[in-house]
């Protein structure tokens, strides 16, 4: 173990020390003139050999024969290092590096190193490259995101990243990528983004003849290295915190990077583009032609420098990234698709020819070819019905061969791709390979068997369902525990689906036989929802008057539980069904009521409490049907469990004793009597189930029984065709003119504005932020302008995404304030107010004060006056606003705040005409609805959330008189409130919606906390009234949201 770790340590040291500045590392040193900066790095001297003390220490660790000996040696070394560091001023550079390397090695062995961090930081901040590299190595290994010392590290990293030394910049970027975390993302994202500039553009700004020969090429090479590292570093930070990047600004910049000559730069840019596109695909569709051009260059023209050839394949990893990027979009338009068609045909034909020699081909080349091939196949599949027929046919033929190969990896990928093909084009397209897929169920690799199971589930139809289900049942007995539950769920779904579609009794009997076999073979893996679904199907089958299935199921299950070795799950199903439909077989020999009771109760001692409760209920139902036969045994059974230590069983037994007193032989001890009518109403058969209401339960089990692990980028299979259509429509409307992407870079690559924040919508916490916020500090409350609801309604804003340009917030005799920017991203809001003087001579001595009435809930991040031309507007700046001053305000929501407690703006100014000081005040249009994100849901989800919100203050309700316009309420009103409609709940005169109130407060998981808001509005057009009901777990949020809605309706 210590040997492998020491080798890893050496490799890591090499990766940190090798800065790719020299073309050949065999050069001992190189000096490159860079104007005022000269880099002198002796690459081999950095890590030419480990310190002798480190080598001896590693040898001693390897010589240890037991773990205890190793621990004793490590403790002794740590004690020695601690003593040396206590007088660090007397240590030489060589000694510091030696001791830090030893600590790194000890840490990699798994021992805790809880001291020396300040020495790491001092080495990292050194001006010597050899010391700096050792310090960065230690920091990358031993610091984790959120450590207390991270603030000290961030400052040193920023100094290196923004510095002029390429070595320091490379080390800083590598360390940031390795550590990651929200702290580094927020502090260094802007600095990292400034380094992502096409190297050729950087080189073209410098004179090629001003330095020594070759200096221009070296400068471009160094900038390429930094650009690659910075792109990958930004991708790591973006995955940690997507809020740090303004994606709208990166389409043009990435386009310029994709035109670079260096394939390494293009590969890094494609990695970054994939991360961005997975978050917002529509923004980057204009780059599709550039990606197709790269594929044509690599696949068709095979234009590639020698260092990027991998077993004679031009840059296969870049081909994979390009193909994966195209999967986010619809099939390209005609001109581009012709190029892409050539690329895809070339890939399919090339791999098909080389596949004939799979056994003899180099494995590395084969793996690279197949990785490209499967990405090309996935691309064809994502095109869906739009894909050309010949490509689909070719793809199907290739996949048919792959699922029969010996190589498990290829077979796994082939089964996975064929499953997607069957989902898109229907099972008929792959049913010819059914027997090959069935053979894969016997594969030694469980992952292959799982993929085969998924494919069989998709390709089953009425013609082959019984054969497939039969094979699955045969393999159920020998299947591992990891796949049994998934098999049971899929068998249950297929058996039910194709038996109910069969109108004959034989089809439904096949369903019963199949499920009984499943209960016997895999009872431990049958979920409660599965066996209860069997009960529902059997009971519902007699709703038309045909009781033959009741008889068959009851006979089958009675025979099953008559064996004392019957599984507990089979006993539960039998107990439920015999209590309901056992009467249909009571006249047959050996199947009387007493026989049924005896078969069930013999399992009482061996089953769980839940099943015992079912059997108690079944025994009482049998007593009600056959009192002469079962009175004695049932009386003994109930008497025994009336004193059970299990409270559930004791309560049931006592209640059943009272209910069935009239049927029991000795009921003198029962003091309470119930009438026969009550007994019949309680013990009557259960009503028939509506199968379609619970059909989704098994589908959810099938989808979630093997949940896929979270991936770094959004999977292309989560993007539906509607989203791709919307992306294409937006692209056509805002098509970038040819040549725009190649335009020069903007002067400031990181504009000074709030970054877009993507709210964590999938996790809406209805139970968080329960506490009422502390009382707000007192501020002077000037005469405010109209409330936010009136402003939003009058301006026709569509919530925080609306266009507010031109809305006048203040119009006095001296000046006018009107909105030019209103930008909301989750819990952050940015607003721009154009200041328009009305009197000649204008105003002077303007001072402003913007404060929050609830600073613990709503934080004012900044408020400043800037020239209008320097503010990035959402729309083109109007001619009349040019040259005027703009008041820019940025706010962040931390907790729910009350209505009327939004930000206040106080202006004081002096007029040139009279020299007097004047004051103006207004309330800015920011309320709780500003930070609400729509959360559409269905009826079941909405009602579940509604019932979960209970308690004092969680509901706010008010009736308000207003004109009723349902079209306006469901359209502009709902959009302005940031609500998503709840489907299936509303009638002609009601509106029901759900939203997620986003905050900047971090929860236990480190993600921002969101609070659910539910609203229902019921209108009475005849009386001109509306009743508004709002529920939220936080009382302040419920009251504030309700007040906002009421004021919006009143306006």
* Among 104, 176, 184, 189, CA closest to 141: 104
d(CA 507, CA 499): 5
Please state whether 112 falls in left (phi above 0), alpha (psi between -120 and 50) or beta: beta
Structure tokens at 671: 């003091």
Query: Residues 352, 358, 362, 368: is their CA dihedral positive or negative?
Result: positive
Structure tokens at 339: 């190029």
CB-based contact 153:139 (threshold 8 Å): yes
Query: Which residue in the block uniquely carries the two structure tokens 């229907």?
Result: 426
467 vs 497, 514, 699, 917, 1010, CA distance in Å? 14, 12, 21, 91, 49
Structure tokens at 491: 């068998």
Long-range contacts formed by 639-643: CB under 8 A, 24+ apart: 641/612, 641/616
Q: How many Cβ atoms sit within 10 Å of the Cβ of residue 561?
A: 22
Structure tokens at 112: 């805790």
CB-based contact 213:249 (threshold 8 Å): no
pLDDT at site 470: 92
Please state whether 570 falls in left (phi above 0), alpha (psi between -120 and 50) or beta: alpha
List Cβ neighbours of 756 (8 Å cut-off, separation of 6 or more): 243, 245, 246, 247, 248, 825
Would you say how long the chain is, in residues? 1051
d(CA 74, CA 206): 53
| DSSP SS3 for 947 | helix
d(CA 230, CA 894): 32
CB-based contact 200:216 (threshold 8 Å): no
Query: Which residue in the block uniquely carries the two structure tokens 């504009």?
Result: 751
44 vs 4, 19, 64, 125, CA distance in Å? 23, 11, 32, 22
List Cβ neighbours of 921 (8 Å cut-off, separation of 6 or more): 782, 783, 784, 904, 905, 906, 907
d(CA 278, CA 715): 7
CA 1045 to mean position of chain CA atoms:
32
Q: How many Cβ atoms sit within 10 Å of the Cβ of residue 882?
A: 11
d(CA 441, CA 360): 27
Q: How many Cβ atoms sit within 10 Å of the Cβ of residue 1038?
A: 26
Query: Which residue in the block uniquely carries the two structure tokens 């507010």?
Result: 804
CB-based contact 326:376 (threshold 8 Å): no
736 vs 266, 525, 739, CA distance in Å? 21, 56, 8
Indicate the helix (H) or strand (E) that contains 41. Answer: strand 37-41
d(CA 178, CA 268): 16
Structure tokens at 51: 């310190």
d(CA 926, CA 822): 10
List Cβ neighbours of 909 (8 Å cut-off, separation of 6 or more): 814, 815, 843, 844, 845, 846, 847, 917, 918, 920
Please state whether 1032 falls in left (phi above 0), alpha (psi between -120 and 50) or beta: beta
d(CA 633, CA 616): 12
pLDDT at site 726: 67
Query: Which residue in the block uniquely carries the two structure tokens 């949201």?
Result: 1041
Burial of 711 (0-12, 13-18, 19+ CB in 10 A): exposed
**Average pLDDT per 10 consecutive residues for the chain, totaling 1051 residues:** 50 42 33 34 46 88 92 93 88 90 92 89 89 91 84 87 89 91 88 87 52 72 91 92 88 90 92 91 90 93 90 92 92 86 89 57 83 92 86 90 88 92 87 90 90 92 90 90 90 88 72 92 90 88 71 90 91 92 87 91 92 92 86 90 92 87 66 69 76 58 48 62 67 49 34 34 36 39 43 44 61 75 80 76 72 77 60 46 70 82 77 71 80 85 83 83 81 81 83 88 76 87 86 86 83 68
Question: Any alpha helices (H) in 356-440, and if so which ranges?
Answer: 363-382, 389-402, 408-425, 434-440
Count how many Cα atoms sit within 13 Å of the Cα of residue 722 in the half-sphere of its side chain.
Answer: 0
pLDDT at site 46: 44
pTM of the complete model: 0.62
Structure tokens at 221: 């090479």
* Among 908, 873, 899, CA closest to 888: 873
């Amino acid at each position: 173990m210590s040997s492998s770790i020491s080798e890893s340590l050496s490799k890591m040291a090499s990766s940190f020390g090798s800065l790719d500045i020299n073309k050949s590392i065999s050069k001992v040193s190189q000096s490159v003139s860079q104007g005022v900066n000269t880099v002198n790095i002796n690459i081999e001297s950095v890590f030419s050999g480990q310190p002798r003390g480190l080598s001896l220490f590693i040898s001693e660790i390897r010589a240890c024969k037991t773990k205890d000996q190793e621990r004793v040696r490590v403790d002794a070394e740590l004690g020695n290092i601690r003593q040396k560091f206590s007088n660090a001023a007397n240590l030489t550079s060589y000694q510091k590096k030696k001791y830090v390397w030893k600590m790194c090695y000890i840490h990699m062995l798994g021992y805790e190193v809880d001291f020396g961090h300040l020495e790491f930081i001092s080495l990292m901040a050194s001006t010597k490259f050899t010391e700096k590299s050792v310090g960065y190595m230690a920091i990358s290994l031993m610091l984790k995101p959120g450590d207390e010392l991270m603030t000290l590290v961030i400052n040193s990293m920023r100094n290196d990243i923004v510095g002029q030394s390429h070595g320091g910049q490379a080390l800083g970027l590598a360390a940031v990528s390795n550590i990651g975390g929200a702290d580094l993302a927020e502090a260094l994202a802007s600095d990292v983004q400034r380094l992502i500039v096409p190297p050729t553009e950087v080189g073209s700004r410098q004179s090629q003849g001003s330095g020594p020969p070759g200096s221009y090429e070296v400068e471009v090479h160094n900038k390429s290295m930094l650009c690659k590292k910075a792109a990958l570093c930004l991708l790591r930070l973006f995955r940690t915190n997507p809020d740090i990047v303004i994606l709208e600004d990166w389409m043009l910049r990435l386009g310029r990077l994709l035109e670079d000559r260096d394939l390494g730069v293009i590969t890094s840019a494609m990695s970054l583009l994939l991360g961005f596109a997975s978050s917002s695909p529509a923004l980057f569709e204009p780059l599709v032609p550039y990606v197709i051009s790269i594929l044509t260059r690599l696949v068709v023209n095979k234009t590639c420098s020698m260092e990027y050839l991998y077993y004679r394949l031009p840059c296969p990893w870049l081909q994979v990234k390009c193909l994966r990027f195209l999967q986010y979009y619809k099939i390209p338009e005609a001109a581009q698709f012709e190029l892409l068609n050539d690329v895809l045909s070339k890939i399919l034909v090339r791999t098909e020819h080389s596949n004939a020699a799979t056994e003899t081909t180099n494995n590395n080349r084969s793996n690279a070819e197949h990785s490209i091939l499967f990405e090309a196949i996935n691309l064809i599949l994502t095109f869906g019905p739009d894909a050309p027929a010949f490509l689909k046919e070719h793809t199907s033929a290739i996949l048919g061969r792959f699922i029969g190969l010996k190589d498990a990896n290829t077979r796994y990928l082939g089964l996975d791709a064929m499953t997607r093909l069957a989902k898109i084009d229907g099972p008929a397209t792959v049913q010819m390979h059914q027997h090959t897929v069935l053979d894969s169920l016997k594969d030694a690799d469980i992952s292959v068997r799982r993929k085969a199971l998924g494919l069989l589930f998709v390709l089953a139809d009425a013609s082959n369902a019984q054969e497939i289900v039969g094979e699955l049942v045969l393999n159920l007995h020998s299947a591992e525990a990891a796949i049994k539950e998934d098999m049971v769920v899929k068998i249950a779904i297929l058996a039910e689906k194709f038996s109910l579609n069969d109108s004959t009794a034989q089809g439904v009997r096949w369903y019963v036989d199949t499920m009984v076999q499943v209960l016997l073979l895999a009872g431990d893996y049958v979920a409660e929802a599965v066996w209860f679904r069997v009960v529902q199907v059997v009971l519902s089958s007699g709703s038309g008057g045909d009781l033959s299935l009741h008889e068959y199921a009851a006979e089958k299950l009675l025979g099953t539980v008559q064996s004392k070795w019957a599984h507990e799950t089979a006993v539960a199903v039998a107990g439920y069904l015999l209590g309901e439909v056992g009467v249909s077989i009571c006249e047959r020999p050996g199947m009387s009521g007493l026989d049924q009771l005896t078969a069930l109760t013999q399992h009482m001692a061996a089953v769980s409490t839940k099943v015992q409760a079912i059997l108690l209920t079944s025994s009482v139902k049998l007593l009600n049907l056959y009192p002469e036969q079962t009175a004695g045994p049932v009386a003994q059974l109930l008497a025994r469990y009336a004193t059970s230590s299990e409270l559930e069983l004791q309560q049931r037994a006592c209640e059943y004793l009272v209910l069935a007193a009239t049927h029991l032989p000795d009921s003198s001890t029962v003091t309470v009597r119930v009438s026969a009518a009550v007994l019949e109403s309680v013990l009557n058969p259960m009503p028939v189930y509506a199968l379609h209401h619970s059909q989704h339960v098994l589908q959810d089990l099938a989808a979630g029984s093997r949940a896929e692990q979270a991936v770094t980028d959004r999977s292309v299979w989560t993007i539906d065709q509607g989203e791709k259509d919307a992306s294409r429509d937006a692209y056509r409307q805002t098509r970038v003119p040819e040549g725009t992407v190649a335009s020069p870079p903007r002067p400031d690559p990181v504009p000074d504005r709030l970054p877009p924040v993507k709210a964590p919508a999938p996790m809406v916490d209805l139970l968080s932020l329960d506490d009422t916020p502390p009382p707000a500090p007192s501020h002077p409350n000037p005469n405010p302008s109209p409330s936010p609801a009136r402003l939003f309604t009058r301006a026709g804003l569509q919530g925080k995404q609306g266009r507010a340009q031109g809305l006048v917030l203040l119009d006095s005799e001296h000046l006018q304030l009107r909105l030019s920017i209103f930008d909301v991203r989750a819990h952050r809001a940015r607003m721009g107010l154009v200041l328009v003087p009305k009197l000649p001579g204008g105003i002077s001595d303007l001072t402003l004060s913007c404060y929050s009435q609830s600073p613990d809930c709503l934080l004012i991040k900044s408020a400043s006056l800037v020239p209008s031309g320097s503010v990035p507007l959402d729309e083109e700046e109007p001619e009349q606003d040019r040259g005027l001053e703009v008041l820019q305000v940025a706010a962040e929501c931390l907790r729910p705040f009350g209505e009327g407690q939004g930000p206040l703006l106080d202006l004081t100014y002096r007029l040139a005409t009279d020299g007097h000081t004047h004051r103006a005040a207004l309330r800015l249009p920011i309320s709780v609805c500003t930070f609400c994100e729509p959360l559409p849901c269905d009826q079941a989800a909405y009602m579940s959330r509604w019932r979960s919100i209970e308690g004092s203050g969680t509901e706010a309700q008010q009736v308000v008189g207003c004109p009723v316009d349902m079209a306006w309420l469901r359209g502009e009103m709902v959009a302005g409130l940031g609500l998503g409609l709840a489907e299936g709940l509303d009638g002609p005169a009601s509106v029901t919606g759900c939203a997620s109130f986003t905050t900047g407060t971090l929860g236990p998981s480190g993600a921002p906390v969101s609070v659910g808001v539910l609203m229902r509005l019921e209108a009475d057009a005849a009386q001109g009234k509306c009743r508004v009901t709002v529920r939220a777990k936080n009382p302040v949020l419920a009251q504030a949201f309700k007040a906002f809605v009421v004021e919006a309706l009143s306006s």
